[in-house]
């Protein structure tokens, strides 16, 4: 394993850890707000609004961590780079 691969693995582990901290914080805060909402105003569940907003952000964070190479990731960059180099060689770029 090269040093570059080790650094990439460390970066990936760090990003996953950050997501887990974000998810745990979401559960604790939204759980606390839900309890507070239930005690203070059980007839109107306003807690769904911050839960939905933050949930969208958490979902985007998950996509950026777990699916970062799915659409326009490193494989796409490498393929596109090869295509552009080939076009330049043929003079069709």
> What's this model's pTM, rounded to 2 decimal places?
0.74
CA 31 to chain centre: 22
Task: Evaluate whether 71 touches 39 at the Cβ level (below 8 Å).
Answer: no
How does pLDDT run across 33-79, given as a tens digit for each residue?
999 999 999 999 999 999 999 999 999 999 989 887 766 677 778 88
Q: What is the mean pLDDT of residues 8-18?
A: 94
Closest CA to 60 of 84, 76, 40, 52: 52
Cα–Cα dist 14/3, whole Å: 16
Residue linked to tokens 């990731």: 73
């Amino acid at each position: 394993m090269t040093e570059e691969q080790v650094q990439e693995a460390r970066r990936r582990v760090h990003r996953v850890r950050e997501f887990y901290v974000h998810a745990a914080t979401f559960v604790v805060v939204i759980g606390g707000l839900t309890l507070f909402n239930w005690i203070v105003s059980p007839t109107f569940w306003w807690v769904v609004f911050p839960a939905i907003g933050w949930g969208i952000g958490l979902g985007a964070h998950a996509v950026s961590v777990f699916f970062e190479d799915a659409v326009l990731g490193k494989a796409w960059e490498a393929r596109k780079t090869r295509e552009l180099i080939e076009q330049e060689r043929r003079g069709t770029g």
